[in-house]
Amino acid sequence: MSDSTAGSDVPPPAVPEERGDFAGLVPAPIAGPFRKSWAWFDDRTGITGLLYKGLYEAVPKRGGWAYTLGSATLVVIIVQFFTGIFLLLDYVPSVTQAYGSLLYLRTDDLFGDWIRGIHLWGAYTLMLLIGVHALRTFISASYKKPRELNWISGVMLFFLVLAMAITGAMLPWDQASYWTAVVVTNIPHYLPVIGNGVRALWRGGDFVGPLTLTRTFALHIWVLPALLLGLIGGHLYLLRRHGEFGSWVNYRTTTDDPEKEIAERIRHAEPPYPTRGSEPRYSVPSETVDFFPDQLFKDTVVSLVLVIFIFVMALISGAPLDGPANAATLTYVPTPEWFYLPLDQLLVFFPTELIGFGVFVVVGIGATLMLALPFIDRNPERHPIRRPDVLVPAFFFIGTVIYLAMLGVNRLYNL
């Protein structure tokens, strides 16, 4: 492919609104006695057009199974929201009643224990899914121009989900959650200048107590979900604006005149392609299919398998509940959730007085590098083999994380 095509960016389509506007061109999806009501509703909202636009947008044909991870993440988050609402029917956010309300849920509520198990296994699955989804978009270099904000909003979602997991773990007010609260709410005090103030604000005083639970509860059910929903909206809007990049396999040229082939693709592109602001060769996949039924079918299969897995695991192994919180215990050794194991193990290598500093340096550097990735990696190539400068350090990092997790398991469980 010649440089003249690679250099200039694709301008916006001539009349974008018209190209994406299905309103008035498509039949109402509802027949029979409800058709009139649908027409009334459609007149006011334009819902039919939106529905068709959503369903019949083009997505890359090849590699569709890898693109199911984002929608599966979304489905598991929805499961978390639903089960969270059900848990709220019994849970009481008070240090004197939280534990008892979960005991009640366990013994007296017909599906209570199962719902709690689904919420826990949903959280585990979500952590894994979000990691694999991030890894897939990293390997396919989907973070490159113009999708930098897809990636940055994704990184912020990743940290929000981690925050949801850690605040959720503090709510049962059993031994595990109480000591998690003691350790986690202590971390902010290592921040320079404002550290002590942030810790006191979160704890509601110098020590973990009733206000700590009230505030952590507010974070878990209001503040973080609101941010999460807003950011998911933004993430999906950007996805629809730029279209799914997919991966390098979707952009191979097959003729001996790649420039002409790419120009042809751009001429015949279906919305949302050609991607505005993209290099021409990566602006339109060589072959696309409609989101419905092709991609939606794959999304449904993967999400369904995962939801069944979560439901079954919740039934088999439920969610643990330790003894009630006891601030006077001297022997309790808090163990971190598996997804915090690598960080926990890394901090073992720091002297005690430097642990907080270690958290901020390690998490701070990691988060900054992740957020800045689209601006650090300026290599225009998308094929992983041609991007060793980012792939090699990333795989070294992943290998270290796995190794630390193994060390952590050995240390905590004497394997």
Residues contributing to the site for ligand HEM (CB under 6 A): 67, 69-71, 73-74, 77, 130, 133-134, 137, 140, 142-143, 147, 150-151, 154-155, 157-158, 161, 232, 235, 239, 244-246
| CB closer to ligand HEM out of 101 and 137 | 137
| CB closer to ligand HEM out of 120 and 157 | 157
- Mapped onto helix, strand or coil, the DSSP state of residue 324 is strand
For residue 205, the minimal CB distance to ligand HEM (Å) is: 33
Closest Cα to residue 225, out of 302, 276, 160, 319? 160
Long-range contacts of 203-210 (CB under 8 A, 24+ apart): 208/178, 208/181, 208/182, 208/327, 209/95, 210/94, 210/95
| CB closer to ligand HEM out of 211 and 223 | 223
For residue 302, the minimal CB distance to ligand HEM (Å) is: 10
What burial letters (b/e) apply to 263-290, b meaning 16+ CB within 10 Å?
A: eebbeebbbbbbbbebbbbbbbbbebbe
Closest Cα to residue 338, out of 80, 162, 99, 170? 162
Torsion of CA 182, 183, 188, 191, to 10 degrees: 130
Closest Cα to residue 382, out of 273, 275, 245? 245
For residue 95, the minimal CB distance to ligand HEM (Å) is: 31
Alpha helices in 97-147 (DSSP H): 98-107, 112-139
| CB closer to ligand HEM out of 178 and 291 | 291
Closest Cα to residue 310, out of 124, 74, 185, 177? 124
For residue 236, the minimal CB distance to ligand HEM (Å) is: 6
| CB closer to ligand HEM out of 53 and 133 | 133
| CB closer to ligand HEM out of 183 and 231 | 231
| CB closer to ligand HEM out of 30 and 371 | 371
Closest Cα to residue 171, out of 162, 180, 163? 180
| CB closer to ligand HEM out of 91 and 340 | 340
For residue 266, the minimal CB distance to ligand HEM (Å) is: 18
For residue 121, the minimal CB distance to ligand HEM (Å) is: 17
**What region, left, alpha or beta, does residue 139 occupy, with left being phi > 0 and alpha being psi -120 to 50 degrees?**
alpha
For residue 232, the minimal CB distance to ligand HEM (Å) is: 5
DSSP lists the bridge partners of residue 324 as 174
For residue 233, the minimal CB distance to ligand HEM (Å) is: 10
- Locate 189 and state its tokens: 């005090």
